[in-house]
Amino acid sequence: MTADDVRAVHPRSRLVVLAGPTAVGKGTVAADVRARHPEVWISVSATTRPPRPGEEDGVHYWFVDDAEFDRMVAGDELLEWAVVHRAARYGTPRRPVEEALAAGRPAMLEIDLQGARQVRRTMPEALFVFLKPPSWDELVRRLVGRGTETAAERERRLTTAREELAAEAEFDVTIVNHEVHAAAEELVALMVLDQESFPSDPH
Ligand code: 5GP
């Protein structure tokens, strides 16, 4: 489907929640949106996992320790949070999301399924998008290909991925990640973009 086709059949929303199985490429799709659509605000999550090479604090994640994460939870500073792959905690700082929406910016969260379910309860007006791999084999190939996890970690992620694939029906829209840029454009087509909500010439 082209972006125009997507616009024609799906509702658009100012807040889009992107979820999907592990290693489907959510982060890569989000990075493509970030690079090509600076008008879209993308949430930076807090996480207790250590940074991977090349990851920057405040850009890819806010890297925090357990005590700081506890403090954020206790202070109700997170819109949602979850333990992902039974390994680390990840959460969405609430205030930046509220500020982006209040400023009229289209906003996107790239989070796991447990987090998406929590946001569905607190912000049901958001549009929930499921990013799906072209096939199970392709998902396994991508997971193994990344090579950043241990075998045990990979097995844990595959187990999570199987469960997550089954959740597609809970989502408003599915995008198949055949190719990153096309998937990113489909995603952006689902957002209410600034120039459309605030036309420069309203007459
Ligand atoms: P990674 O450690 O590979 O960057 O991310 C692992 C998983 O955590 C991905 O599925 C990603 O979508 C998820 N994730 C990242 N940020 C958040 C967040 O703020 N909340 C939740 N619930 N999951 C997140």
- The DSSP result for 131-158, as a single string, is EE-S-HHHHHHHHHHH--S-HHHHHHHH
Mean pLDDT in the chain?
A: 88
Distance (angstroms) between ligand 1 centre and the Cα of 111 equals 5
The ligand 1 atom nearest the CA atom of 110? 12
Q: Could you tell me the pLDDT band of residue 198, with boundaries at 50, 70 and 90?
A: very low
- Kindly indicate whether the domain formed by 3-197 is annotated with CATH number 3.40.190.10: no
> Ligand 1: does its nearest atom lie under 6 Å from the Cβ of 82?
yes
Tens-place pLDDT, residues 35-70: 999 999 999 999 999 999 999 999 999 999 999 999
The H-or-E segment that residue 196 falls in is helix 194-197
Tens-place pLDDT, residues 92-136: 999 999 999 999 899 999 999 999 999 999 999 999 999 999 999
The ligand 1 atom nearest the CA atom of 43? 19
* Alpha carbons 93 and 6: distance in angstroms, whole number: 30
> Ligand 1: does its nearest atom lie under 6 Å from the Cβ of 61?
no
Q: CB burial class (10 A; 0-12, 13-18, 19+) of residue 2?
A: exposed
Tens-place pLDDT, residues 167-177: 999 999 999 99
Residue nearest to atom 14 of ligand 1 (CA): 111
> Ligand 1: does its nearest atom lie under 6 Å from the Cβ of 80?
yes
Comparison of pLDDT for 157 and 113, the residue scoring more: 113
Distance (angstroms) between ligand 1 centre and the Cα of 3 equals 26
13-42: burial string, b at 16+ Cβ within 10 Å, e else: bbbbbbbbbbbbbbebbbbbbbeebeebbb
> Ligand 1: does its nearest atom lie under 6 Å from the Cβ of 156?
no
pLDDT value at position 195? 52
> Ligand 1: does its nearest atom lie under 6 Å from the Cβ of 48?
no
DSSP 8-state class, residue 149: S
Q: What is the mean pLDDT of residues 8-36?
A: 87
Distance (angstroms) between ligand 1 centre and the Cα of 170 equals 18
What are the domain boundaries of the chain? 3-197
The ligand 1 atom nearest the CA atom of 115? 22
**Cβ atoms < 10 Å from Cβ of 142:** 18
* Alpha carbons 70 and 79: distance in angstroms, whole number: 14
